[in-house]
Amino acid sequence: MITAWARGLTRHRAGRLLAALAGIALAVALIAALGSFLTASKATMTQRAVRSVAVDWQVQVQPGADTNPVLSLIRKSPGTRAALPVGFAHTSGFTAQVQGSTQTTGPGMALGLPDGYRGRFPGEIRPLSGSSDGVLLAQQTASNLHAAPGDTIGVRLPGVGVRQVKVDGVIDLPQADSLFQTVGAPSQSQPTAPPDNVVLLPAAQFASLTRGATGVTTQIHVARDDSGLPSDPAAAFTTVTGAAHNLEARSSGAALVGNNVGAALDSARQDALYAQILFLFLGVPGAVLAAALTAAVAAAGGERRRQEQGLLRLRGLRPRQITALAVLEAALIAVVGGLAGVALAALTGRLAFGTVSFGSGGTWALWYAIAFVLGAAVAAGAVLVPALRDLRTLTVSDTRKEGGARSTRNPWWMRYGLDFLLLIGSWLVFRASSGNQYALVLAPEGVPSISVSYWAFLGPALLWIGSALLLWRLTLLALTHGRPLLARLARPLTASLAGTTAAVLSRRRRPLARSVVLLALAVSFAVSTAVFNSTYKQQAEVDARLTNGADVTVVQPPGAHTPPSAASTLKIAGVRHVEPLQHRFAYVGSDLQDLYGVRPDTIARATSLQNAYFSGGTAAQLMHQLAQRPDNLLVSAETVNDFQLLPGDTVNLRIQDARTHALRPVPFHYAGIVKEFPTAPKDSFFVANATYIAKTTGSDAVGAFLLDTGATHQRQIAARLRHQLGTAATVTDLTQTRGTVGTSLTSVDLAGLTRIELAFAVLLAAGAGGLVLALGLAERRRTFAIASVLGAKKHQLRGMVLTEALLLIIGGLAGGALIGWALSDMLVKVLTGVFDPPPSALAVPGSYLALTALAALLAVLAAALNGIRRAKRPAVEELRDL
């Protein structure tokens, strides 16, 4: 019996089975793909965090302790690949005799490096000119002293005086912040800036020069074997932190570990939690939608399934046997659909990431198994549970009635206004989470762990569900009370059957409302996903441009007096415009802040100034005010609040006069608020007219040049400028900055996630639009056959089908667009912490949304044409088959 039943299902109910299989396959594939992506993203974050560190541990040998035992202890510790001692000595200054003049600098540091240091820690030192061995001078120090390879400089050491050394090369220290960190300083303390003046010496020469000097310490730089670290950043952080604490404990207080790799992994933990946020935000709604699609597909054949169940009961089958047949159908859908979904996920991984495992090692198989089990649960809930419920609650006579003798009352959620309650709750949660400096990722004070406040997602979730139920309510009301309007709309397609068509649509209002809501949810999922991805991409570019300043930025060393006219030497092939930017420092009260001098009329030609960067006017208006009144000043919001400034108030800044080198008060007038500005820090700063600053301080020296290359060839142009300028300036390009800065999601391969999500969103929209309609039309062949027998013409039957399809398209696309727009706006505001700076407007990917609408339209049209084709069959043949 079971074999015959399975054979009958595949032969006579193939369409229904294939539709249910497609729904299960989509749900399984989406969960498997996104779960594997989440695991792969975490592994990528761990790898990038480890690779970003030049020296894993900087072990500070404590005063009075012997270096050799500590070094031996470290080298014997599990996981140590290399350990080399490095000497640190404080200097009181550097001197150099260049072209008959004496150049001096302030305090700095001298380091003693053992042989093989660059080979063991290649990311710590970047050669710029001259030799890469011997006495190496930091780039900024070389600029301050006007020194070059071959010159002799004096190193002033406390306790021993000035020692002369010959410079062999000029280098850059890419990780100076960590190299000169204060090992053992509390993590909550403000980090100290690295010294401006640094010289690196061979260990033997360092020992000779610093003999008798004060302020000499030793660090042991350690490279760890990171191959055995867990792929999850949080677990890897726990592992390396535990190893560092173990070393400190075994050293009995002789060593203190500066855990650079632990700090990098600590930051990656936050990225991992944002990846989990993306998984929830992008993955769960899609999986729920795929499950709902499967349930709708199963519900489309519910009446036929009840009639078959009644027939089996009439023929004497016991409830246990009928249950076994229902289990067979559910198992067939679960197994075949699950396997198809796993295969689809593997294909997605291959196309999006080049590997079926999404680069996640062996954990991808676990996600595939989880997705398969969830798919089986969806199949059981969509097929088996309704069958068991009907078997328990319906009599044989009920199964012969159309609709299964179900109640005609409105659903319970409509009677109690659940949709309105959900929307009100969504608004309340959103107000609570967006009005009090809310942050998604929480780091409890004093606790070495971070967590996501998932409750903030309650607002968008309630909005999604509540708006879907509200659309369901409105569709039911329109189909129930709008029969005259439906008849008028159907008349051009159905002629004299317009009233009948309206009556049929009104009688079928529940399945039609379900189809409209399902299509609307699929479209809203596509809209919200696409808008978030596009907005993220837009803001990542904005963040990189804010940090770098422009396509290419040339930064002058501190103390250099480069005039604006030097811009002409930077306008090489490919550069469209060069914009000078002053960078000074000014005191307001006792607070020292950055001061940027701009040319208001031309600054926007080299960099982008968004209105969101300013308050009190648009970017163009405030730049115009700076041009019209040169003593106007743009101030940070923090400074405005601290000093209770009002527009037009006089602000006296104390700026160094280039002629007297003394601070002098310069009056400005507060004109507006600046929140973000290219190359400016995140905290307080000022923006003023460069001409006014030059006039009042006696210097037009430029701090940086912003180069516009038309967003092309930035890397090549930056390389040519580095070759041209040598060590005289620092050149950065947007492509370089884009890879090292950004939002908290920098480590997440959002491009791959985008390809996964948007592809599935299109498939879900097409499935929601076409599958349910096709199955609904297939189940109504009897209706079309009876209408044909009663005299309905073929064009009238075609009109009935097209009217239903038209209502589905209009209601689904319009409702989905409105829900998607509201959901996108709320989600971007809830995820404000992900964006830095927050977007001034949502980025709408028009081409993708048009593709999604077209896919849904074509799917509905294909379903309608298939229904029309079936309606053309002779009525007698159709009734005989039924």
pLDDT in tens, 620-677: 999 999 999 999 999 998 888 888 889 899 999 999 888 887 889 999 999 999 988 9
pLDDT of the residue at 827: 76
In contact, 195 and 58? CB cutoff 8 Å:
no
pTM over the 0.85 mark: no
Does pLDDT of 563 surpass 80?
A: yes
Rounded CA-CA distance 241/79 in Å is 13
The DSSP code for 192 is P
The secondary element (H helix, E strand) that includes residue 86 is strand 80-91
Q: Which residue has the higher pLDDT, 228 or 91?
A: 91
Cβ atoms within 10 A of the Cβ of 315, count?
A: 7
What percent of the chain is predicted at pLDDT more than 70? 82
pLDDT of the residue at 682: 74
The secondary element (H helix, E strand) that includes residue 201 is strand 198-202
User: Mean pLDDT across the stretch 227-237?
Assistant: 85
Q: Which of 482-486, 683-687, 764-768 has the lowest mean pLDDT?
A: 764-768
Q: Which residue has the higher pLDDT, 406 or 419?
A: 419
Rounded CA-CA distance 761/768 in Å is 10
In contact, 257 and 247? CB cutoff 8 Å:
yes
Query: Which string of DSSP letters, residue by residue, matches 370-437?
Result: HHHHHHHHHHIIIIIHHHHHHHHH--HHHHTSTTTT---SPPHHHHTTHHHHHHHHHHHHHHHHHSS-
Q: How many angstroms from the chain centroid is the CA of residue 182?
A: 33
Token pair of 44 as six digits: 């990528």
Q: Tens of pLDDT along 467-516?
A: 999 999 999 999 888 888 888 888 888 888 788 888 888 888 888 888 88
Looking at mean pLDDT, say which of 108-112, 524-528, 682-686 comes out highest: 108-112
Does pLDDT of 587 surpass 50?
A: yes
pLDDT band at 361 (very low <50, low <70, confident <90, very high): low
- Helix-helix angle 260-278:14-51, to 10 degrees: 160
CB crowding 432-456: b at 16 or more within 10 Å, else e: ebeeeeeebbeeeeeeeeeebeeeb
Does pLDDT of 453 surpass 70?
A: no
Cis status, amide bond into 667, omega within 30 of 0: no
In contact, 552 and 615? CB cutoff 8 Å:
no
Q: 324, exposed or middle or buried, with CB in 10 Å at 0-12, 13-18, 19+?
A: middle
Phi/psi at 843 (nearest 5 deg)? -95, 120
pLDDT of the residue at 447: 44
Q: Which residue has the tokens 């270096």?
A: 67
Q: Which of 256-270, 624-638, 784-798 has the lowest mean pLDDT?
A: 784-798
Does pLDDT of 611 surpass 70?
A: yes
Q: Which of 123-137, 292-306, 325-339, 661-675 has the lowest mean pLDDT?
A: 292-306
pLDDT of the residue at 223: 94
Rounded to a whole number of angstroms, the CA Rg of the chain reads 35
Query: Which string of DSSP letters, residue by residue, matches 575-620?
Result: --EEEEEEEEEEEETTEEEEEEEE-TTTGGGTS---GGGEESS-HH
pLDDT of the residue at 751: 61
User: Mean pLDDT across the stretch 366-375?
Assistant: 86
Q: E strands of 678-774, at which residues?
A: 685-689, 704-708, 730-733
pLDDT of the residue at 824: 84
Rounded CA-CA distance 693/632 in Å is 11
pLDDT of the residue at 356: 63
CB contact set of 256 (below 8 Å; sequence gap of 6+): 59, 60, 62, 183, 184, 248
Token pair of 583 as six digits: 């960078």
Rounded CA-CA distance 623/763 in Å is 48
Does pLDDT of 226 surpass 90?
A: no
Q: 712, exposed or middle or buried, with CB in 10 Å at 0-12, 13-18, 19+?
A: exposed
pLDDT band at 301 (very low <50, low <70, confident <90, very high): low
Phi/psi at 157 (nearest 5 deg)? -110, 130
